[in-house]
Structure 1
Amino acid sequence: MKFYFCVTLVLIVSPLDVNAAETFSLDLPSVAKSADGFATGVGQEVTNAPDLKPRATGVVRGRIIDFDGRPLPSVRVFFGDDYSEFVTSDAQGRFELPSVPVGESALSFSSSAPTWTGVSGAIKATIPAQNAIVDIGDVRADEGVLVSGTVIDDITQAPIAGVKLKMLANGKILQTDAKGRFEARVQKPFYGFEVLGDYTEKSVMAEEAQNGAKFDVGTIAVERIGATLRGRVTDEKGLPIPSARLGWNSKGQFNSSTPDANGNFEIKDLPFKPLTVSASDGQRLTVATATPNTPVALKLAPVTAPLAGADIEKLWNELKIKSVSDLDRYFEALGARRVYDVARPQRLEVTI
């Protein structure tokens, strides 16, 4: 097939000054003509015309299974130079790729399932001729890392069903069964996971695990949160002290707040266990052990002598304080520096 080019020259002269128009000449290479009189360009025949023939293709079939031989549904199977074309495996793990070019093609696989372990190595399929159907058989996923464990309530020691664990490497989610257990093969690398939901923050770390490794974390004790502590801050006569500050420790952090104009307060998202809460107006102090979901009355009294050893130890243990300087900062946050200067014993000897 031959393609031809035609060159047309249009010369426009301004109508405002026709007499002033100049004569232009343009020298072009000799234009070759075909037998029928059409120009073929500037003496050059176009020989690199695109091939308009449809590409020869075939079909690739197969099945994707996990390491234990079970079919894997909803796995994406990609092919092509840029892996832009794909199909998804059905409930039996089977897939069929139409229009795969004749010749050798590389395949790749991916899935958003939490138990997807990936496929290592090159998986290739070769279409020998137009309309050929090639079955590559079973494609087995990697062995992955076998992770397992049990999640229990830190207070009741009972297993917890439905707890979600987010894997640190890829963000995928595992979930405990009715017995609080989880066990699954996951894709390498595996660095551990964190417990999600209404529980105190908990992370389980692990060294990078390779295919074939087993990682049993044993028992994970978590504290459920969601309890509320309500109460009132008053002086010794029962009058409200809205200027007081409340202090407590939750999720390993110091927290503080203030009551309303009537001295009432509400602390939400607490573990379902007793906690130590303190209150001070800078002159007076009280420290009490409160039970969430049970109203508590905090009466402030002047501090005229060092706190008893038991009270200091209570603050130390319940507030997760690790040093004397931490105790100093706690009272600073509470706005009770002057109280603490009186309350602090000369020698603070508490075993951590």
Structure 2
Amino acid sequence: MAGGQTGGAQGRAWLSAALLSVALLVVPLLVWLLLPRPAPVMPPRREPAQTQLPPPMPEAPPPREPAVVAPPPAPPPPRDTTAASAAPIRGVVLDPDGRPIPGAVVSCREEPSVTATADAEGRFELPAEADGCDAIASHPQFGDAEPTRVAAGRDNVLRLTSAGVIEGEVVDESGRPVEEFLLAIESFSPSAPGARASVSGRARKVSDPAGAFMWDELVPGRYVFTASAAGRPPARSPPVDVVAGRTARRVRIVLRQGATLRGTILDADSRAPVAEAQVELDAVTSSSANAISLALTDAGGNYELQGVPASGPFSVRVRHEQYVTKIVPGLDARGAGSLRADIELRQLGDGGSREELSGIGAVLSASPSGVMIAGVIDGGPAALAGLAQGDVLVRIDGQETTDLPLSDCIQRLRGAPGTRVTVGVERDGRVVEVTIRRDVVVR
């Protein structure tokens, strides 16, 4: 009995402990549910960095990087005119009325070797390296086209200008017409920069009872003509300005009766006469308008050259296959009907000189800048005086070379050995006066 009671008491004690434990758990839960809850204290929530947006701010320039200085942009490389670009340069050449002109020659002013010829429809195609050049078109029947900048990817149009015409007459000293004569372009200065200047020296024979001539298809510019006839040395026209599409009229050239040069050609060593030597005028004109026939020496070495200038200095050239060619300068008939000059020739040696003259030893040529020294003979007076290729000759003994044709400049520089000539030479923008002693020059 006592054992049963003891067991019952223990059971009730465990039950009470269990109920007490449950009460301890349930009561706080009921209190938490029934009582008002305070606001929770929580740290602010952080958004991920990639989605965080800054607050709006007024626009401002971006901050500078003080430690970094950007270099200036490099200039674009120059146009490579030698390397091929993407496409050739195409275009068309038209006449003044807008018609295509076949056979016209197109070239770059900066690179004359870059050329093309227009086809039957006037179309041309320049190589790719012509891109950006100033192109010029020329044709014998028209004036040159104005220089035009051409480019790839477009249809370039070059329009030729109307050619000019010169009309005139050739008469003798009394005003009577010279019926047969040789006419040539002595010099030409184009009016358009870059226009062709290769017309100088062109010549033609003219036969007309009235002594009249007409020269058409002339590129606009300034011309000087030269005429010559049998017994009448070359004479020049005044400068004539040719305008596209117009005719310059009443140009007159007066051919005066020439003098006769006589003499004997001798061997310099043996004093024997030289037969069949040729004697002819030399550098009397810059063109080919010299109708004065050369003279041949007879068995006694005698010659007679008709039609030399009656006044003013001139030169003759004497040739023979066995002798050194000799140029004799400074001859002057001084208004007389004749003059005499006996000339000695030296025989040719093995590997020696082939030409002998008396002057300063300089070769002259016409250029857009004026009369230019194209070369000097080594050891000659010009070389010893410091003249060099490329120098521009502006004065000869005080006479401006712009007033003298090239042939007159040559004659004035030639002269007897020991005589002196003063020349004004322009080099690098400076003009220097130089006095030169003439001497015999061999080459």
TM-score normalised by L of structure 1: 0.37
Whose relative contact order is higher, 1 or 2, with alpha carbons under 8 Å and at least 6 apart?
Answer: 1
Higher alpha-carbon Rg: 2
